[in-house]
Structure 1
Amino acid sequence: MNAHVAFGASDFLPMMRDRQWANTTPQLVLCRRVIEETPDVKTFVFTSPTDRMFCFSAGQYLLMHLKIEGTAVTRSYSVSSPPTRPLDIQITVKRTPGGLVSNWLHDNLRPGDEIEIEGPLGSFNLDDLPYEKLLFLSGGSGITPVMSMLRALTDRATDQDISFVHSARTQGDIIFRRELDALASRFPNVRVNCVCSQEDPNWSGPTGRIDSRMLLTLVPDLRDRTVFACGPEAYMKAARACLDAIGVAESRYRQESFGGSSSPQFEPASTMPSSVRFVRSGVAHNCLPGETLLDAAGQCGVYVPTACQQGVCGTCRIAKLSGEVAMDDLGGLTTEEKLTGYVLACCSRPQGAVSLDL
């Protein structure tokens, strides 16, 4: 019996590797299904046209490369499906008023269509931190990466203690509500609390915006948990302030957030002549005052993947080989990445001559 199992595993694993999705360059995927989650949220299910399997970490995101009205557009969307189900990959998108890409996806993308994606990418995942007890915090469509994590853990029938607190405007806006209820019912180690910000006589759960008192009421042992949080900028600021007030150590906190209400305002840090050399590409660019590394790459025709362009998501991370930059990021790099020489192209401006490993 043991010999049979060993043979099966050794035979199966190489086949798995041969079928893994190659995520190093943008590639086409096929839209198989569109699921309406709420009135303004849809899940898009993609498969590989060549029957590849998707290999990623729960919490990562995709870059969507689209052409809308003749203009090339790139956006980041977190993967909402778990890596334990590798035959498809899913994103869950909220329609944003005035949002170019979210509205295009809702109005135009249909089963049978092909689009170009890159990734999965990103360091927001369960692989980085040791944890015994978890707290997932999410607001609105920020539920998508932590839902991927929850699905992966429950697919593996984990016995780890998991608490999930999700905030929405109304109960009709709670994404994945039925699935969250089902998981909490099925797994005694999973506790789910949904919070609605708007008053509703038909809603019996917590109401209002999260604060320290509410979080400690819902999760009394919060200080003992590792926290993964994702949501809009205002939600993330409130969540971080609550956790700081409660005394949650920074080492126990990870967050993900794409975009915000406004872009950071940059002032040129220097008027000295600056240049950027892309070593592997063999090209260089003399920069104007205030130009970013991303601007320089565009001038040279060097491709740099980018998404938020605010120093948040980390998509445009590049290894700096020499020189100095002025970087005004919003948390897109870890301390370790900064110490090893990585910079974000979207928000780094060269200070003199800079060379990059690109």
Structure 2
Amino acid sequence: MGETHRVKFEPVDLEMEVEESETVLDAAFRQGITLMHGCREGQCSACKSFLIEGDVQMDRYSTFALADYESEEGYILLCKTHVYSDAEIELINYDEEVLRDAVPLQKVTATVRHLTPLTHDIVSLGLTVSGGRFDFKPGQYSDISIPGTDQHRSFSMATTTTTPGELEFIIKKYAGGHFSGLLEGGIKVGDELEITGPYGTFTLRAKSDRRIVCIGGGAGMAPILSLLRHMAETENRRPVTFYYGARNPTDLFYLPEIMAMTDRLVDFTFVPCLSDTWPDDWTELGVEGDTGFVTDVVNRREADLTDADLYLCGPPPMVDAAIPILESRGVPTDRIYFDKFTTSVI
């Protein structure tokens, strides 16, 4: 276990205890504190902070998330940092609205209810939670254990809290993927999986009344769909535009449900963006789409983004391309919420 130390965070009025055997981020999860985070594996830099004072050590991380010169200057990744004395840390990224409003971590067993192909490389994994409940906020993600190992993979829930015991994960299959590779024959209906969570800050900010612009790609559909379903269920009146990037028409899925959001939400627009091939007549798909990479389509079609909250979820190249475009268009950094679907280092 090791000793326990006090960590004080600036510029917020917040202190907590951290055991030497746990990371600062894990200590926050344990105590119901939502520090900004993303991959939790030292790859995305969402939890990058500045060490003001204290004795710390970091586990292995990617220099893409924290460059050597940043580490030398005193920057740290909370998901990889262990403290060995009382410490003071300056939070660079934080959200006062969610900081003290965490859903407690849970570890549950769930049974595979269905495995449904959505495209040639995307699968819907449906689970039923033993005991009937798993609490989370729409937009968050969880760890699913890899059977027979001590490893896990992280996936976003596509469902909402109206069905807390019935979860859906939208998962992209990768060649050689330790978990996704099991979706063809390795995992079957009736199997049990362990789930730990929830994690993530990709959640709807209740205090904002600004319009929402979602930009997604691939399995990044999952948390955005969770947000849309939640907004429809709660009769949220904020306008929403959803841009979804794919290569071909066959990469699109859940079109009927998404298009039905035009009746369930006050002001909803869906724009599928196809980069490789597209139909001559979009009415064949029942939707009016656009051509090109999703980030280029957004830049071309959105005349003014300064009045919007931006939600981005998908592969890192998509998120990395979108953020500088949005910032150059005058969107404040604290209005850009994103999840990068990074590849595990394990």
Read off the aligned partner of 1:35 and give its amino acid letter: T
Aligned-residue identity in percent: 26
Q: Gapped runs of 5+ residues in structure 2?
A: 1-102, 283-288
Instruction: State which of 118, 141, 144 in structure 2 corresponds to 1:61.
Output: 141
1:22-101 superposed matches below 5 A: 24-50=105-131, 52-67=132-147, 70-101=148-179
Residue 309 of structure 1 deviates from its aligned partner by 5.0
Read off the aligned partner of 2:260 and give its amino acid letter: A
Q: TM-score, normalised by structure 1?
A: 0.61
- Provide the residue aligned with 2:238 in structure 1: 160
- Provide the residue aligned with 1:192 in structure 2: 270
Distance 1:85 1:27 in 2: 15
Read off the aligned partner of 2:255 and give its amino acid letter: R
Q: Do residues 254 (structure 1) and 334 (structure 2) align?
A: no
Distance 1:180 1:218 in 2: 20
Bigger fraction of residues in helix: 1
Residue 129 of structure 1 deviates from its aligned partner by 6.3
Q: Over residues 269-288 of structure 1, what are the superposed CA-to-partner deviations in whole Å (9 max), with x where a residue is unaligned?
A: xxxxxxxxxxxxxxxxxxxx
Residue 149 of structure 1 deviates from its aligned partner by 0.5
Distance 2:192 2:295 in 1: 43
Residues 129/103 of structure 1: CA separation in 2 closer, same or farther (3 Å cut):
farther
1:140-151 superposed matches below 5 A: 140-151=218-229
Distance 1:232 1:128 in 2: 26
Distance 1:102 1:128 in 2: 34
SS of the equivalent of 1:100 reads coil
Residue 197 of structure 1 deviates from its aligned partner by 1.0
Q: Over residues 221-262 of structure 1, what are the superposed CA-to-partner deviations in whole Å (9 max), with x where a residue is unaligned?
A: 4221001111111111111122122121112111111315xx
Structure 1 window deviating more from structure 2 (181-190 vs 85-94): it is: 181-190
Distance 1:203 1:73 in 2: 46
Let me know the Cα RMSD of the aligned residues. Answer: 2.3
Q: Do residues 117 (structure 1) and 201 (structure 2) align?
A: no
Distance 2:263 2:305 in 1: 22
Distance 1:253 1:197 in 2: 24
Instruction: State which of 206, 209, 231 in structure 1 corresponds to 2:290.
Output: 206
Read off the aligned partner of 2:129 and give its amino acid letter: S
Q: Over residues 57-107 of structure 1, what are the superposed CA-to-partner deviations in whole Å (9 max), with x where a residue is unaligned?
A: 01111101123xx54321100111112332311111111122221111343
Larger Rg: 1
Q: Is the 8 A contact 1:60 1:122 kept in 2?
A: yes
Instruction: State which of 305, 313, 317 in structure 2 corresponds to 1:234.
Output: 317
Residues 128/152 of structure 1: CA separation in 2 closer, same or farther (3 Å cut):
closer
Read off the aligned partner of 2:109 and give its amino acid letter: L
SS of the equivalent of 1:149 reads helix
- Provide the residue aligned with 1:130 in structure 2: 208
Residue 190 of structure 1 deviates from its aligned partner by 1.1
Distance 1:106 1:202 in 2: 34
Q: Do residues 179 (structure 1) and 257 (structure 2) align?
A: yes
Residue 175 of structure 1 deviates from its aligned partner by 3.2
Q: Is the 8 A contact 1:95 1:106 kept in 2?
A: no
Distance 1:124 1:188 in 2: 22
Read off the aligned partner of 1:121 and give its amino acid letter: Y
SS of the equivalent of 1:126 reads coil
Q: Gapped runs of 5+ residues in structure 1?
A: 1-21, 261-307, 311-358
SS of the equivalent of 2:125 reads strand
Q: Over residues 168-220 of structure 1, what are the superposed CA-to-partner deviations in whole Å (9 max), with x where a residue is unaligned?
A: 111111232221112125434111111011133446321111345x3254333
Q: Is the 8 A contact 2:245 2:272 kept in 1?
A: yes
Read off the aligned partner of 2:139 and give its amino acid letter: G
Q: Do residues 218 (structure 1) and 301 (structure 2) align?
A: yes
Residues 211/94 of structure 1: CA separation in 2 closer, same or farther (3 Å cut):
closer
Q: Is the 8 A contact 1:23 1:118 kept in 2?
A: no
Residue 115 of structure 1 deviates from its aligned partner by 0.8
Q: Over residues 255-312 of structure 1, what are the superposed CA-to-partner deviations in whole Å (9 max), with x where a residue is unaligned?
A: 111315xxxxxxxxxxxxxxxxxxxxxxxxxxxxxxxxxxxxxxxxxxxxxxx459xx
Distance 1:58 1:138 in 2: 16
Q: TM-score, normalised by structure 2?
A: 0.63
Q: Is the 8 A contact 1:59 1:145 kept in 2?
A: yes
Read off the aligned partner of 1:34 and give its amino acid letter: L
How many equivalent pairs are there? 238
